[in-house]
Each structure stands twice: as structure tokens, then as C-alpha cells.
Amino acid sequence: VPSSNAIGLHFYPIWEAATVDEWLYNGGPYQLVIFHFLIGISAYMGRQWELSYRLGMRPWICVAYSAPVSAAFAVFLVYPFGQGSFSDGMPLGISGTFNFMFVFQAEHNILMHPFHMAGVAGMFGGSLFSAMHGSLVTSSLIRETTENESQNYGYKFGQEEETYNIVAAHGYFGRLIFQYASFNNSRSLHFFLAVFPVVCVWLTSMGICTMAFNLNGFNFNQSVVDANGKVVPTWGDVLNRANL
């Protein structure tokens, strides 16, 4: 449970309270948990960059991990700062998270914010693309073994040769949807699989940060009227009725 509204944005370590019971009653553990959590995930992101650097790898693992890190900072730190109290931060727990979502929608109309829409597209679209990619790969594996032994024995970790036939997978998917819907280049394919959900989560985090300062989602409370003051029906009116 987030810290008490009476605490506001004040730093509230255990030694600031008169007793441990008072600290617990005012939600002191919330600040303790989220501050250590944010420090921990930031340090882990730095560790990913360092390990990639030492192994001569490019830093894209760290860059991809920055998406959930930015989301955590948005709901645990930026949003409470924008609203003026840590009591507005996201609670820790399943039911508390759902309650946070309902309250957020009621106060900021997040479902009508373009950045939230991008985040939904990134999550569901990324899941769909990953499932499609995995199914195409496993359906076009190049068999290196006989029928009597496992296919897994035909591959070695880190081998230079392709383990699946991307031309066959590309041809199948191009015929299933249309030619230009599939990738015939492995690097561009995996780049897209990584970038699409990551950028969308970044956008969602930016949306949370803007709504923290009450720059909310779109609303269509004002109907379009003509010169005579007569309402001109639009899809905005349909959305208003749906929101009610």
C-alpha cells in the first residue's frame, strides 16, 4: 500500500517516525521498497551495458531493457511527483495494480491517449509477431539428423550455419499474407521484433509522465454544432456515450 497522503512527497525512512508502528501505519515500507527497487533495476541495466561492452557486444540488450525500466520509473516516481504525493503511486500487488488502473482511467482518460494506444499495439502486436516468428522458425528447421534421433543433436550453440531456412519461411508467409508483409533479411526481421514493442513501451511511459502533470487523454465533451447551434452527430458523441 502506498504511503499516507499526509506524508506527501517527503522522504519517510524508518527513523523519521516516532515508532515502528507509526512508520508501518503510514505506509513507510512503500518508499523503502520502491526506492530500492528502482535503484536495483537501474543498476541491473548498467550491468547489462557493462557486460555487453566487456564481451564486445553491442548494447541493444540494455536498450531494450530500458523500456520496462522507464515504465517502472513512470508509475513509481514520476507520477507521484506530478500528483504531489507518493500515495498516488502504483500499489504493490495484483488488486492494487488493477485499482490503480481504474483510478488512472477515471482521472486521466488514459484509454483515449495516443501513447497508451501505441503501448497496447506494441504489447499485443509484439506478442503476435513473436509467436508468428517462432512458429515459422520451428516449421522451417533444417534437419541435420536422421528420423531416429532428436533434431536438437544436429545443432551447436553459436554455430555459423543457419538452423532454419529463412527463404522457405519468407516464401510461406509472403504467400499467406502478401509478399511485402514478410522479411527476407534476418537482421531487419529481428531488429523489427525488438524495436516495435520497445518503442511502444517508451511511448506509454512518456504518456504516463505527461498525464502525471494532468496533460490527459483526449475527450470529446464538446459536441460539434452548426451555425444554428444544432448538434452535428460525430463519432466523438458515440465515444462519449460509450464512456458513460
Residue among 7, 11, 53, 45 nearest 26 (CA): 7
Q: DSSP assignment, residue 222? A: S
In a domain, 91, yes or no: yes
Q: Is residue 67 part of a domain?
A: yes
Would you say residue 63 lies in a domain? yes
Residues of the chain with pLDDT under 50: none
Is the distance from CB of 78 to CB of 44 less than 8 angstroms? no
**pTM for the whole thing?**
0.80
Query: What pLDDT does 53 receive?
Result: 94
Q: Looking at the 3D structure of the chain, how many domains does it have?
A: 1
Domain region containing 102 = 1-108
At 102, which CATH number?
A: 1.20.85.10
198 within some domain: no
| pLDDT for position 221 | 64
pLDDT value of position 41: 96
Residue 178 within any structural domain of the chain: no
Position 144 in a domain = no
pLDDT at 220 (0 to 100): 64
Give the other-Cβ count within 10 Å of 92's Cβ.
15
pLDDT score of 207: 93
d(C-alpha 209, C-alpha 5), whole Å: 20
Assign 177 to helix, strand or coil. coil
In a domain, 130, yes or no: no
CA distances 143 to 30, 140, 151, 155, Å, are: 53, 9, 6, 9
Residue 28 maps to a domain = yes
Residue with cell 541493444: 60
Instruction: Output the pLDDT for position 223.
Output: 65
**pLDDT tens digits for 160-209?**
777 888 888 888 888 888 777 777 788 888 899 999 999 999 999 999 99
